[in-house]
A and B are shown apart, each in its own frame.
Chain A
Amino acid sequence: MDPLVTKERSTEPRRNAVLVVEDDFLARWGVSEYLRETGFYVIEAINASEALAAIHADPAIDVIFCAIGTTTGVGGEDFLRLVAKERPSLPVLIASDGSHRDRTLANTPRRAKIDKPYVMIDVEQRLRALIAAG
């Protein structure tokens, strides 16, 4: 094998691919742009069905940031159930509105929650921690 190619591969940083699931345009843009600037590879989904399509299309996703409502809105809870079924080892950071339901959902292995409104740097650090734990 070409030693240069081998070297390049071995020093290549981890892709740190995050799937951001957020239905609000401004919020999705803000967090996605921040994460790209800090070195993440970001895939943006506006709802659960888009997120599932992205997971099927790109199996190399390292972590999910799920900011769609788990108690209200566009089926965040169903989405988390499907992710747990299809990719049980895929870590998920849930942006929580502080409800009891969110605490229960986050209280499983490979999951964590972050309270809304979240601070970007906290999201970044929590995502890195979830990836590193994997």
Chain B
Amino acid sequence: MTKSEIQQCILVLEPEILIRMVLAQYLRECGYTVIEGVQAADFHTLIDSGRELHVVLADVKLSGEMTGFELSRGIRQTHPNIDVILTSGVAGAVAEVHDLCHDGPIKKPYHPKDVESRIRILLERRRNSQHSKE
């Protein structure tokens, strides 16, 4: 991992602790800064705090009132500089997630390695598009 990737900050929104703790720890060992939350409100709290955030990894089913779908739509509108990756254990969710991110959802059960590769692809894509703009 290069130096620029080390500072990338990821918000993991996952209401199931046994999934969240394993995934968050794996991503930390990969060199990312990982912040853990369980609901959409945690994203807004984090943004309000002024913390720079690069990727939100959210399950479609979150604690609180807002779903991962709704959060993802909102982030695309208000924070287009933040990438969103959705995960899902619900079979029917696939079609809807496709609508939100063209790479599709990450279906559970997943290996943290697959999530990390998806993050790496998104960050790489973003870096490339920034370079092309410059």
Contacts and interface: CB of A to CB of B under 8 A. Distances in A.
Mutual binders A and B: yes
B45 A26 contact: yes
B42 interface: yes
Contact of B17 (A26, A32, A54): A54
Nearest to A50: B17
B82 interface: no
Interface string A10-32: 00000000000000011011001
Nearest to A56: B18
A25 B42 contact: yes
Contact of A53 (B18, B36, B38, B42): B18
Interface residues of A, number: 16
A63 B41 CA distance: 29
Contact of A45 (B17, B24, B45): B17
B49 interface: yes
Interface in B26-76: 28, 35-38, 41-42, 45-46, 49
A64 to B, nearest CB: 14
Interface size class of B (residues with CB under 8 A): 10 to 19
A29 B35 contact: yes
Contacts of A29: 35-36, 46
A130 interface: no
B45 A53 contact: no
Interface string A31-49: 0110010000001111000
Nearest to A28: B36
20 contacts: A25-B37, A25-B41, A25-B45, A26-B45, A28-B36, A29-B35, A29-B36, A29-B46, A33-B35, A43-B21, A44-B20, A44-B24, A44-B36, A46-B17, A46-B38, A53-B17, A53-B18, A54-B17, A54-B18, A58-B21
Given A25-B41, A44-B36, 9 more contacts: A25-B42, A26-B49, A29-B36, A32-B36, A33-B35, A43-B21, A44-B21, A50-B17, A54-B17
